[in-house]
Amino acid sequence: MPRTQTTADGRDAAWDDDAGEGDFAVAAYREDGVWHVSRLAGNAHDDLSALVRALQQRPPESAPLAFVGVDDDFYVAARLVGRDVRLLLSDVTAASEWPLAREVLDTLGEELPDDDEPRPVGDLGMFADLGLPRRVVEGMCDDDELYPDEACVELADRLGFGPQLEFALRRLAAR
């Protein structure tokens, strides 16, 4: 049975209880120099269209971003810059098992690889304007010791909202 959560614009939205234990979907945006981080309601954790719609509810001038972690397996980073949706899939091989990863791969116009070699695909430079270079993002994606939540917190730390993301993830885990 879905629970409800109040969204950033004050509406009640359903939260899908089918989300796995390692699943999370959070959005972040910066307004007046302050980062705001919140859980994304609904099925943003497993549907790319829902994720993009959730990001579009945030202030567009802030180039809002989201991190989605799926089953301790992979993560997706999404960012709205103007009308463009920039996407990063931490592990291309996840697209063979997970619908969200496949949607990201299809949206990027990429093919499912023939090998089982994990590697990131998408816009590794999506945070460069925020001071996080492509090579650092690529290094985090290549670190197979990091779980998706740990990688996203590390990215958030470097972007300036690590503590807020950790707090949001702790609240999710407590549910």
pLDDT tens figures, 118-170:
999 999 999 999 999 999 999 988 888 899 999 999 999 999 999 999 999 98
In a domain, 118, yes or no: yes
Give the chain's domain count.
Answer: 1
In a domain, 91, yes or no: yes
* AA letter at 73: D
CA–CA separation, 68 vs 151, rounded Å? 11
Give the structural domain span for 70: 3-168
Residue by residue, DSSP assigns 84-138 as: EEEEEES-GGGGGT-HHHHHHHHHHTPPPPSS-----EE-TTTTGGGT--HHHHH
In a domain, 120, yes or no: yes
Q: What percent of the chain has pLDDT over 70?
A: 87
In a domain, 173, yes or no: no
Mean pLDDT of 90-115: 94
**Tokens found for residue 97:** 């098992």
CA–CA separation, 63 vs 83, rounded Å? 10
Reading phi first (left if > 0) and then psi (alpha if -120 to 50, else beta), residue 98 is in beta
Mean pLDDT of 44-73: 93
pTM of the model as a whole? 0.86
In a domain, 175, yes or no: no
The alpha carbon of 23 is separated from its chain's Cα centroid by a whole number of angstroms, namely 10
